[in-house]
Amino acid sequence: MKALVFHGPGKKSWEEVASPALLADTDAIVRVEATTICGTDLHILKGDVPTLVEGRILGHEAVGTVTLVGSAVKNIETGDRVLVSCVSACGHCRYCREGSYGQCLGGGGWILGNTIDGTQAEFVRVPFADNSTYLVPDGFTDEETLMLADILPTGFEVGVLNGQVKPGDVVVVVGAGPIGLSAISAAQLYTPSLIIAVDLADSRLESAKKFGADLTINNSSQDALATVLEATGGRGADVAIEAVGIPATFELAADLVCPGGHIANVGVHGAPAALHLERLWDKNVTITTGLVDTSSTPTLLKLLASRRLRSDNFVTHHFTFDQFLEAYDTSMRAGETGAIKVAISRPPA
């Protein structure tokens, strides 16, 4: 089969590799019908994720068809159409019992495209298949389902739920990329009084407006702190969601939060960020970090089915497997291309 293989920082190729095989009786093999590129994949190519070894197949999001299951797999069978979650869960350890699958101690967590081969391939081995896949409801397209593999649960869980967004809150989302847009979408479920998006790219801020931001701030030409304070009567944000993963955006989120507020860090950081306790120590601020657990995926599927939440508006660019390198180039230049999420699909037979 062919797959997108990591060969060290800045190096990748779409090449022929061995097809996956079952390694445990809880595994399944899934024929990938559609996958996508995550911001985390771009961090990997920058060298920000040291757990990656050369030769690893990238990717941790997919929709596909089950072609083989291990003898212990009970919830899915050959021929089923499934969503492959970005997080794998053993289902038995302390953290999995609590629904904190991202912290799995039994061999799961974020392993696909990290410590084992991932989904940017024609086929993928999915460990703990009963706990790490979801049957796709009838009527859902591959692309709208694909958004539930990672970005929507991440924005919802690590941004909105960790940030404890409440009715009437002012929510500032720093970074209007896919995760930031997911947080904006999910925050609306809790009826905040004001949602503010901060970014450096006008194209992303235009997207933020379409996804539900009430106010947008281009921090390259506007003073984000002054603008937020003006919009909130000098108070600041009840919830500041950091959705980029660089020191400047975390530090900005900390500056924007009000006393008693929450800073929810979602971004993947590859470098230290300053924590200005000299400014925060007396503000009763809560800071949360986290890896998505995907425990919210069943809820999000229900919200999509009832049309309380949309996912069909994330994909801006469409590619086939033989265009993987072009898809990466488009994602890496999102400020120029206007890309939010790319969808990479198996070519028609």
pLDDT of 230-241, one tens digit each? Answer: 999 999 999 999
In whole angstroms, what is the distance from residue 16 CA to residue 2 CA?
Answer: 4
Res. 47 pLDDT band, cuts 50 70 90: confident
- pLDDT, tens only, 89-139: 999 999 999 999 999 999 999 999 999 999 999 999 999 999 999 999 988
Does residue 349 register a pLDDT over 80?
Answer: no
Q: What does the pLDDT average to over 316-329? A: 96
- Determine the pLDDT at residue 50: 86
Enter the pTM of the model.
0.94
Going from the N-terminus, what domains does the chain have, and what CATH number goes with each?
2-149+294-345 (3.90.180.10), 153-288 (3.40.50.720)
Q: What is the pLDDT of residues 174-191, one digit of tens each?
A: 999 999 999 999 999 999
Q: What is the 3-state secondary structure (H, E, C) of 159-190?
A: HHHCCCCCCCCEEEEECCCHHHHHHHHHHHHH
d(CA 274, CA 248): 9
| 147 Cβ contact partners less than 8 Å away, ≥ 6 residues apart | 182, 311, 314, 315, 341
* Whole-number Å distance between alpha carbons of 84 and 132: 6
Whole-number average pLDDT of the chain: 96
d(CA 53, CA 55): 6
Question: Would you state the pLDDT for residue 290?
Answer: 95
The pLDDT tens digits for 56-84 are: 999 999 999 999 999 999 999 999 999 99
Which DSSP letter does residue 328 get?
H
Taking only Cα atoms into account, the Rg of the chain, rounded to an integer number of angstroms, comes to 20
Q: Given this model, what pLDDT does residue 335 score?
A: 83
pLDDT confidence band for 256 (50 / 70 / 90): very high
Confidence at 172, pLDDT banded by 50, 70, 90: very high
Task: Bin 246: left if φ > 0, else alpha if -120 < ψ < 50, else beta.
Answer: beta
The string of pLDDT tens digits covering residues 186-226 is 999 999 999 999 999 999 999 999 999 999 999 999 999 99
Summarize pLDDT for 291-310 with one digit per residue, the tens: 999 999 999 999 999 989 99
The pLDDT of residue 205: 96
Is residue 273's pLDDT more than 80? yes
Q: What pLDDT does residue 48 have?
A: 85
pLDDT class for 49, splitting at 50, 70, 90? confident
Report, as an integer, the average pLDDT of 236-261.
Answer: 97
Q: What are the C-alpha distances in Å from 75 to residues 24, 153, 252?
A: 16, 21, 45
Tell whether the torsion through CA atoms of 111, 144, 328 and 204 is positive or negative.
negative
Count CB-CB contacts under 10 A for residue 281.
9
